[in-house]
A and B are shown apart, each in its own frame.
Chain A
Amino acid sequence: MFVAVIFVLIILGSIIFHFWSPWWWTPVASNWGNIDDTIILTFWVTGAVFVAVCLFMAYCVWAYRYRPDRKAEYKPEDKKLEFRLTWLTALGVIALLAPGLIVWNKYISVPENAFKIEVVAYQWGWNYRLPGNDGILGKTSVGLISDENPFGLDSNDPNSADDILVMDADLHLKINQPVKIELRSLDVLHNFYIPQFRAKMDTLPGIITYYWFTPEKKGEYEILCAEYCGTGHYAMRGYVQVDEEQDYSNWLAKQISYEKMLAKNNIKNKLIAEKQN
């Protein structure tokens, strides 16, 4: 009796905790609300199975507890029952999987009009590169990275010149503009994750990975590194600011292009050289 009651209480406690828990999603701020819907669906289906199995178990523990005069049933198999349970489970699994795959298909199909942003991850921080007016990000190479050229941009590529370099952990995005995040890492694995946007992907050295989303709510969101990257992993953060058109343009105007940075460096280098002479 006691044992069955405790099991029932644990199940009831879990249900109550679920509905009264103060810990739940942060409100979604991107177009990925349907990820949340898939999770809610999974919650209902699997939650029902969990509660049903555990309560049935608790019932058995109570109803068939040991009595000296009781004799257990002898029934090695019940093909019909096993067959039904198998197909019922299979149906449940299909019901969970199908919508999930449909949303996944959306997740990996980047819309044509998505604005490309390169995220450069390093131990332990974030930088960003936006394409200039040409809308194309210039070529890069690890071998070209230096103090003067922190992104390793290829000066011979005509697309590089107008690329905008953001040497800061804060990134601004225009509201309702789909963005394709192109992820690049200089050293180890990282992961560009903003909980409110629901999306994430690892960054790797040697490969460019990507994902896309549309920010749909104004505000400031924290960027977390979600792939362990060494001692400073927990401190590798930044902010994304989702702006209205005007604020975004103001921010963009303050950023510096590769061309301008090179020019600045040249002047600086000249001054240093003159001084040394």
Chain B
Amino acid sequence: MSDEYTENKLEAKAADSSSGSYAPTAETVPAKESPDQELYHAKSFWTKWVFSQDAKVIGVQYALTATAIGFIGLILSWGMRLQLGFPETFSFLGPATYYQSVTMHGMIMVIYLLTALFLGGFGNYLIPLMVGARDMVFPYVNMVSYWMFLIAVLVLIASFFVPGGPTGAGWTLYPPQAILPGTPGSEMGIVLMLISLSLFVIGFTMGGLNYVITVLQARTRGMTLMRMPLTIWGIFTATVLALLAFPALFVACIMMTLDNLLGTSFFMPEIFSMGEKLEYGGGSPILFQHLFWFFGHPEVYIVALPAFGIVSDLISVHARKNIFGYRMMVWAIVIIGALSFIVWAHHMYVSGMNPWFGFFFATTTLIIAVPTAIKVYNWVLTLWRGNIHLTIPMLFSLGFIVTFVNGGITGLFLGNVIIDVPLSDTYFVVAHFHMVMGIAPLMVVFGAIYHWYPLITGRHLNQTLGKIHFWVTFVGAYAIYFPMHYLGFIGVPRRYFEMYDSPYMTSGVGLNQFITVAALIVGFTQFLFLYNIFTSWYKGEKSERNPWKANSLEWHTPDYPPTHGNFGKELPVVYRWPYDFSVPGSDKEYIPQDVAPSQVPTAKAETT
């Protein structure tokens, strides 16, 4: 590589001598390794906006579809909360409907909302723009990825309308129960769920290959891996995890479909159900749990890592300060990603697997706390001695820190195998995972939308509505999930349709009513947010170029908002990391990534 550098030094090397001892040596950029490829240029309305191959349009399509199905998930949660808070008043929900709501709510939120939104939505929109590429490397496959996702969502929705309704097996879909008649939706519902998940994995793989290869192969000149914004690091690592983890879910889905339709016995031992012995024999229900959680635990980080990355960028930009410990942040993301593949059985401490596994998985699980804690320290240390603009993205980032730390430390309870024994399958677990992989990532999603909405539409979201949205969502969600841990301490099990004659529950009646009311309020506020998104699209205050004064490439496109091909005639050349804020010696408050050291000769920026 280095000999290539020498013949391609751009412009003034003279700047080195003029800027004294601080002179960055990074004035050089490598040559183009290959000539620019011609993009596919869409001509008609259909190929531009519907069957689009432009990653920006695909990103918005992903985001809108995920949001639409996410609101269905939200409404399902209201049904559950009404039943739990006021079981006598709202008796329209039977136990079957309740369990179907629980299942669909969980699956929709984890897979079809959060995974699709972070990777399909933000990934598509931001990766090419932030690494300085014109588009994804395989635009056509990228388009097909979205349409597979849409079909997966439609199959999922179809399961609401088949005989027996959608599956009520819980989002973990544990066999044998998932395919036996004691569970609602064990006829067609479970089949459609398994098909929908398989389609999702197929669609995701197409998108995922794009994201990974674009990051590895299509970065612009000078954009070294260690100059990438943490947003890209988060999305990139999460995509690698997903490409390795989703196949486990895929095979589990196929095997369970075979068990269900063809009578194989992958997961089915000898069973005596409802008065008769079934034909099955020899399979293992725990095998499914291993496959599911081998996917399921990395899945937590598939949602969390993009959130980690994005929130790092939001905090840095809005505090006008470089992210503290960038290299440590990158390594923490990579280490967390790698460790996430050897902790899966901490979801199975009381599943009946060999109890000796407990020692291994408790140890690996608690080790993850170290890189995760480092990330938290670095976020708050970025705030320290910053110049903090309390914009809405910053507010959501602060909300993220509080909810994430809260949810993270309860993970230290559940990961420590012996503490998991009394707490597993109680409301403590429900509170924990909602806080850490529901509320915390959603805080980042919201912050990111307020941050990048001007880039997408050229307009700002309404600030007043935004502030209401933040405070109600943050305080409300905290009020829902913080006290919920204490229901778990009493011993209230999760996935109970009702249990009002039990001594454990009677003391929690008032608390449950409070949680329900808070959940309704927080839920309604999301509709306010939706209203804000749609009205601001054409009525919002016009945004000037680069309104947050950020350094990363997406804000420095020739057209604002960026158009087809992203970067005019020449791709940008990158000279620095995206965190050169408040650099000493510079009269500029921020130095974008494509500014050469010679253009800011007095800036005493560290070489990156």
Contacts and interface: CB of A to CB of B under 8 A. Distances in A.
Nearest to A67: B387
A232 B285 contact: no
Interface in A212-255: 222, 224-234, 237
Given A42-B413, A96-B366, A230 B374 contact: no
A228 B429 CA distance: 14
A194 B300 CA distance: 30
Contact of B496 (A64, A76, A234): A234
Nearest to B371: A86
B176 A38 contact: no
B380 A57 contact: yes
Interface string A163-205: 0000000000000000000010011110101011011111111
Nearest to A198: B422
A25 B490 contact: yes
A246 B159 CA distance: 57
B348 to A, nearest CB: 9
Interface stretch (B352-360, B446-454, B543-551): B352-360
Counting contact residues on chain A (CB < 8 A from B), the size range is 35 or more
B493 A100 contact: no
B339 interface: no
B182 A3 contact: no
A61 B380 CA distance: 10
Interface stretch (B55-63, B203-211, B325-333): B325-333
Given A24-B490, A82-B374, A101 B385 contact: no
Given A38-B418, A72-B582, A76-B606, A66 B351 contact: no
Interface of A is mostly: mixed
A204 B285 contact: yes
A50 B405 contact: yes
A152 B418 contact: no
A64 B320 CA distance: 11
Interface stretch (A14-22, A111-119, A131-139): A14-22
A84 to B, nearest CB: 10
Interface string A71-109: 111111110011001100110010011001101110110
A159 interface: no
A77 B327 contact: yes
A228 B495 CA distance: 7
Contacts, number: 320
A31 interface: no
A107 B418 contact: yes
A89 B374 contact: yes
Nearest to B94: A231
Interface string A52-71: 01101100110011110011
Given A74-B582, A75-B322, A142-B271, A26 B490 contact: yes
A263 interface: no
Contacts of A38: 416, 418-419
B177 A229 contact: yes
Contacts of A267: none
Contact of A104 (B96, B168, B413, B417): B417
Interface in B508-567: 508, 511
A232 B95 CA distance: 8
Contact of A46 (B168, B352, B412): B412
Contact of B489 (A24, A124, A230, A233): A24
Interface string B552-590: 000000000000000000000000000101111000000
B377 interface: yes
Interface in B406-436: 406, 409-410, 412-413, 416-419, 421-422, 424-426
Interface centre among B325, B378, B483 (most CB of A within 10 A): B325
Nearest to A34: B418
A49 B584 CA distance: 33
Contact of B386 (A73, A105, A228, A230): A73
B412 A77 contact: no
Nearest to B579: A76
Nearest to B351: A202
Interface of A: 3, 6-7, 10-11, 14, 17, 21-26, 32, 35, 38-39, 42, 46-47, 49-50, 53-54, 56-57, 60-61, 64-67, 70-78, 81-82, 85-86, 89-90, 93, 96-97, 100-101, 103-105, 107-108, 122-124, 142-143, 145, 152, 183, 186-189, 191, 193, 195-196, 198-207, 209, 222, 224-234, 237
15 contacts: A54-B405, A57-B401, A64-B386, A70-B387, A72-B386, A72-B582, A75-B324, A76-B608, A96-B366, A97-B363, A123-B182, A188-B174, A201-B350, A202-B350, A222-B503
